[in-house]
Chain A
Amino acid sequence: MAFHKINVTINDDLEQVVVPSNMTLMHMLRESLALTGTKNGCSAGECGACTVLLNGEPVNSCMVLAVECDGAKIVTVEGLAGKKQLDPIQEAIVQEGGVQCGFCTPGILISSHALLKRNPNPSEDEIREALVGNLCRCTGYVRIIESVKVAARMQSVTT
């Protein structure tokens, strides 16, 4: 099987990685770059634990080949916060207790961050629809959804 040398910007750092054809973006992040914030849940695009931003849009990184990301910009949960400040959705999820075991949290954060970017003031239905691909088996979603609402309010105050 062939290996490919790719250049990819991950959380603002340019990385050069050699990847086999069948390596997914998720595996590259976790196993070649030790960015283990991105979780491997189902490996089938259903649970959302591996959600990252690919050129600004959320994707299931288990459903993207690493080789396809040559030249792309990736943001993982490790790159969500600024140097000194958490992203509003991170602040909000801490404040509202939207975390229990934490396995789904990286994906929830990325999906919510992307939602708030494209829709700064989402309704509860829109939040639920945006998070339909992020499964949480602990909290029952109430506090997660509340966190997204709080993050939206935080953002509207700061902007």
Chain B
Amino acid sequence: MTMNTHPSLPEFEYVQPATLAEACEFLASHAVEARPFLGGTDVFVRMRDGFLTPQFLVDVKNLKGLNDLHFDPKAGLTLGAAVNMNRVIASPEVKAYYPLLAEACRSVASYPLRTRATIVGNICNASPAGDTIGACLTLDGVLHIHGINGPRQESMASFFLGPGKTTLKLGDVVTAIHFPIPPKGCVGMYLKLGRNQLSDLSIVGVTALGYPDSNCKSGYRFRLALASVAPVPLVPTQAETYLANHSITPESVHEAARLSTDACSPIDDVRGSARYRKQMARNLSAKALAEVWKKLN
């Protein structure tokens, strides 16, 4: 017998279903003991650390259609669940129409890790710190899910219930995420504060997206999403509404940043204190909004 000289993954069975239906059925009939996985970049680390002990890991990344990246100038972008982040960054269509998505992916870990990491995996992991989730929320991503009763769609906006908790039901596999064509003239940005400039998890992350909108009193609609400041990826709707109804000035931007901070309920952890997070959420929100506003004009 080979002796493992280094701590490795705990024991489990690797399952590779041939079809989506087979995957859903297996997951549904092994409720507690099975878990689907794509790149494994979160699952393996948490298994190694003893936080997860699945009896079966169900590899869904080779299922039909899960590796497709499809863009249609009218319908928008569909990313198969197994499309890795480096492919998203390298896609000319993403670069042209969804640069915010590429920017968010680029902030994740390192190139070799992004060969395996996926946006859908980042979403399903449901960490409040997920770097790509803010872009998916502000770009109105819709998840395509296959469950035991067949396919359905779910909006990103109502997907997160708590840390690691989502509306996914037993037997569900997320097969893709779809983005509509972004609003005309939109500008987005992701500001990430980590312990180092590249590669770390966020202490606070702020995604901002702005675009001209004649339905708003201010003439502009701003979308915001905050990472690592609440049990779920946070959309500070009061701040968004405020900017829709008040002319965009340095003062209104600061008021919106204050409102988004009010919505935060961060925790102390190894990366930063709750107090620091609140202050930085305010600073980064103001900075992101001001930068987006500058680019809009």
> A residues touching B (Cβ–Cβ < 8 Å)?
1-2, 4, 20-24, 27, 31-32, 40, 43-46, 48, 51, 54, 57-60, 63-65, 67-68, 111, 114-115, 128-130, 132-134
Q: Is the CB of A133 within 8 A of B110?
A: yes
Q: Which residues of A contact B6 (CB under 8 A)?
A: 27, 40, 43
B77-90: CB near A (< 8 Å → 1, else 0) gives 00000000010000
Q: Is the CB of B111 within 8 A of A43?
A: no
Q: Is the CB of A133 within 8 A of B109?
A: yes
> B residues touching A (Cβ–Cβ < 8 Å)?
2, 4-14, 39-41, 44-45, 48, 57, 59, 86, 109-113, 115-116, 198-199
9 pairs from A and B in contact (CB 8 Å cutoff): A2-B13, A27-B4, A27-B8, A43-B6, A59-B112, A60-B116, A63-B39, A65-B14, A67-B14
Q: Which residues of A contact B112 (CB under 8 A)?
A: 45, 48, 51, 58-60, 111, 133
Q: Is the CB of B2 within 8 A of A65?
A: no
With contacts A21-B14, A58-B112, A111-B111 known, is A43 near B8, CB below 8 A?
Answer: yes
Query: For residue A22, which residue of chain B has the nearest CB?
Result: B9
How many Cβ-Cβ contacts under 8 Å join chain A to chain B? 90
A45 CB contact (under 8 Å) in B9, B41, B57 = B41
Q: Is the CB of A1 within 8 A of B13?
A: yes
Q: Which residues of A contact B116 (CB under 8 A)?
A: 59-60, 63-64
Q: Which residues of A contact B198 (CB under 8 A)?
A: 128-129, 132
Q: Is the CB of A22 within 8 A of B41?
A: no
Q: Which residues of B contact A20 (CB under 8 A)?
A: 11
Query: For residue B87, which residue of chain A has the nearest CB?
Result: A57
